[in-house]
Amino acid sequence: MNIAIVGATGLVGNKMLEILEERNFPLKNIIPIASKKSEGSSVIFRGKKYKVISLENFIDQKIDIALFSAGAEVSLKWAPVFSSKGIYVIDNSSAWRMNDAIKLIIPEINGNLLELTDRIIANPNCSTIQMLMALAPIHKKFKIERIIVSTYQSVTGTGKAGINQLNNETNNIKGLKIYPHQIHQNALPQCDNFLENGYTKEEMKLVNETHKILSDESVKVSATAVRIPVYGGHAESVNIELSEKTNCEEIKKLLNETSGVTVQDDPKKSIYPMPIKAEGKDEVFVGRIREDFSKENSFNLWIVSDNLRKGAATNTIQIAEYLINNFTF
C-alpha cells in the first residue's frame, strides 16, 4: 500500500508513523504531507528520511489510503479532493463525524458497517472511543439507558500547543497560551468552545457520537469535559444505568472478554487505571467497577486510555487495516 499521512508533522501524525512501524503495516511507500510551512522538512520512518510535501503537491503521488490529522478545515477542503481520485480517506478531525453519509467507526464495535464504496471514513473523538470501547459490550448485553460521564483530559489532546503551555508554566517561562487560563496545577472545566446550550463542543461530541456509533438515540448521555495538567492520556468517570439486571462480577467478566479492553480492578492493592500507566499502550483500561447504591441497576466505572493512540492514531490505522483485510484494492 501507498499511505499518505496528512498532518505528518503534528503530534498525531508523528504517532501514526510510530504505530505504522510498530504494527508492521503492509505498505510500499509513505507520503508525509503537511502545510506549506512544513514543506521540505523530513520525518523518519523505519530508519529512513522522507521529505514532507504540501497538500498542493500531492497530486503527482500514487496513494491508496490517506490518514488525515490536520484539523477540520483542512479535511473539509481536501478529503473530497483525495477521495475523488480514488483514495480512501480516514479522517481524524471532527469534520465528517456527524455527516449522515459518512460512517463513524471504531473497528471493534461497528467495523462491519464499512463497505468498499466508503471513500471517506470518520474517526471518532478520543473521549468517545475509549468510553464506548468499554460501554458498547455492556450496552449490547444489558442495554444502557443513561450515561453520565466526566472526563479528565490530557493536554496532549490540544496538540503541541497544549504541551508547550503546560511545560512553559511548569518552568515559569512566558509563552503562547492555548487555554483561557493557566493549566499548570489547575483543572479547566472547558474542553473546546462553549455552545448556546451551555455545554462545550467536546461534551456534545460524547453525546452525538455515542448515539451514532451505537445506532441508538434512546441512550441518554450527559457529559462534563475537564482539562487537567497530565500528559499520558485521558481518564473518565462514567456512571451507567442499565435496563437489565446484572452485577459487578458479570460486568468485569464481560470486559475481560472484550478485545482491546483490559480490566485493572483490585482496589485493596491500589490497582486501577491511570494515565501515567496507559501512555504508550493501545488498550482501554477499566477499573473502579462498582455498584451505584443510589440508583437501581446502576454502576460506576473509571476508564483510561492513551488519547494519542487508541483515541486517535491507532484507531485510524485499525480502520485502514480493516479495509485492507476485508476488501481487494
List, by residue number, the catalytic residues. Answer: 126, 234
Residue 39 CA to residue 58 CA, distance in Å, equals: 11
Q: Which of 42, 77, 82 is nearest to 58 (CA)?
A: 82
- Which residues neighbour 44 within 8 Å (Cβ) at sequence distance 6 or greater? 17, 50
Per DSSP bridges, beta strands 48-51 and 42-45 are antiparallel
- Which strands make up the sheet holding 234-242, listed edge to edge? 220-227, 144-153, 234-242, 298-305, 284-291, 261-263
What would the grid cell of residue 276 be? 501515567
3-state secondary structure of 23: coil
Strand-pair category, 29-34 with 2-6: parallel
Q: What is the DSSP string of 141-179?
A: HH-EEEEEEEEEE-GGGG-HHHHHHHHHHHTT------S
Quote the distance between the C-alpha of residue 48 and its chain's center: 28
